[in-house]
Amino acid sequence: MLLLTLIQRLQRFAGFIAFLATVLPIAVGQTDLAEGTTANSDSTRLIEVRFRATELEPIVGELVVQNAKYGMLLLNEDGELLTVPAAPKSSKPSDLSTAPDRSIQGIQSIVELEGPMKPTPPRELAEKSLALMPQGAKSIVTEHFVVCYDTTDVYARWNANLYERMYKGMVRFWKEKGIELETPRFPMVALIFSHQDDYVEYSKRDFRGGENTFGYYTQTTNRLATFDLTGIEGMLPPGAQVQREELITEIFSRPQAERQVATILHEACHQIAFNTGLQRRLGDYPFWLSEGIATFFESPDFNSSSGWGGTGKINYFNLGNLRHYARIRPADSMMKLLVQDDLLRRGETSTAAYAESWGLTYFLIKRKPKNFVEYLKLLRERLPGNPADAKQRLDDFRSCFGEDLDKLDKEFVRFAGTLR
């Protein structure tokens, strides 16, 4: 699943951009910057931000959004989203002399540069990303991904092939449904650690609790991270080689294999969705939709040599959980799912909420594909900021799927009961 701790972090960016239409532009240093621009708009401006604290490196990037209350959000050449926060109300000018200040208050100058910004080439981005890995790590550059790893080559290449297979499958799938996905502007970076401890240590920069996860993707860094799920690294004598067939057999023979491979696919799906325009990074999406899309595509296929057999397969893990939930499912369950993101956060409700998110997404894509595409496009067109309240959520959903949600819910329940 997309880590909910990360989602909570991203919610703070909703506040960061909540007042775009009402706050006056900030004039700092040598340029007066327009507010409310987006990374892909014609009005995008490339800027360099320098700080008074000499130990802080300047930031160069496209101004995604600027807000007098919350600061600035920039997109850099590596595809990362960086923040320059507004100064805390309690801060004083004297504070600048005691600690490096990367807030608006600590800015020395902002200079507009000639654009457009050129994304970091894949091999250069690979070199940068290797600095995040243990010493001796290597990289693989594919058509759309940069994979950095300190596992065996065969394990890393299996992951890289899995990512590319999913990418091509999603492009084909959505094209058939009427959505032309964009070619990713930045190479998609995946970090694969041989040891879980190294993965957990890396994850601390993004969230707490990495030891309880198999992998994650975050929209701010635009990176996916995971670790060797086979344990085969520790079983090999020094210098030993392993064949791809042996690796696949080892992965698929484990009781937890389905969930482990599903996690890789799930997080890759998030990364692809947010890099191809299916979803807008830091956009306002109901959790059920983002997680429903990822669970729709995550289903492993152990009859396939890649581990993923394609799109649209039944997710039997979530189907089982949905059947269990159906025994106690209240009549207003779907209505709550549409508006209450907390259902996917809380431990006591998350299993059922994820199962229902998958089931509802599967139902809508299979039975109402044109409406589902209309819904995705509606949310995609909405610029980041001003998160929708419960009424807006329901209005959005009804505008695409009809006013009678009770009728739709009954159709969904009947459909779910036919799945085998």
Give me the mean pLDDT over the 333-354 stretch.
96
200 in the same domain as 310: no
Specify the higher pLDDT residue, 212 or 91.
212
Residue 62: strand pairing partners: 46, 75
Name the pLDDT band for 238 (thresholds 50, 70, 90).
Answer: low
Residue at which a domain ends, from 276, 298, 332: 276
- The percentage of residues in the chain with a pLDDT greater than 70, rounded to a whole number, is 77
365 in the same domain as 231: no
Which CATH number is 386's domain given? 1.10.390
Residue at which a domain ends, from 227, 261, 276: 276
Does 373 have pLDDT greater than 60?
yes
Q: At residue 98, what is the residue type? A: T
86 in the same domain as 51: yes
Does 35 have pLDDT greater than 90?
no
pLDDT digits (tens, 9 = 90+) for 57-84: 999 999 988 877 668 889 999 999 998 9
> What 3-state class would DSSP assign to 272?
helix
305 in the same domain as 200: no
Determine the Cα–Cα distance for residues 55 and 97; give it in Å rounded to an integer: 12
283 in the same domain as 260: no
Give me the mean pLDDT over the 93-107 stretch.
68
Specify the higher pLDDT residue, 297 or 300.
297
125 in the same domain as 43: no
pLDDT digits (tens, 9 = 90+) for 127-137: 999 999 999 99
- What integer best gives the mean pLDDT of the chain? 84
| Domain that includes residue 28, residue range | 4-113
User: 414-417, long-range: CB within 8 Å, 24+ apart, which pairs?
Assistant: 415/363, 415/366, 415/367, 416/319, 416/322, 416/323, 416/326, 416/359, 416/363, 417/326
Residue at which a domain ends, from 276, 299, 315: 276
Number of domains in the chain: 3
- The percentage of residues in the chain with a pLDDT greater than 90, rounded to a whole number, is 63
41 in the same domain as 163: no
187 in the same domain as 268: yes
Are 110 and 47 contacting, i.e. CB atoms less than 8 angstroms apart?
yes
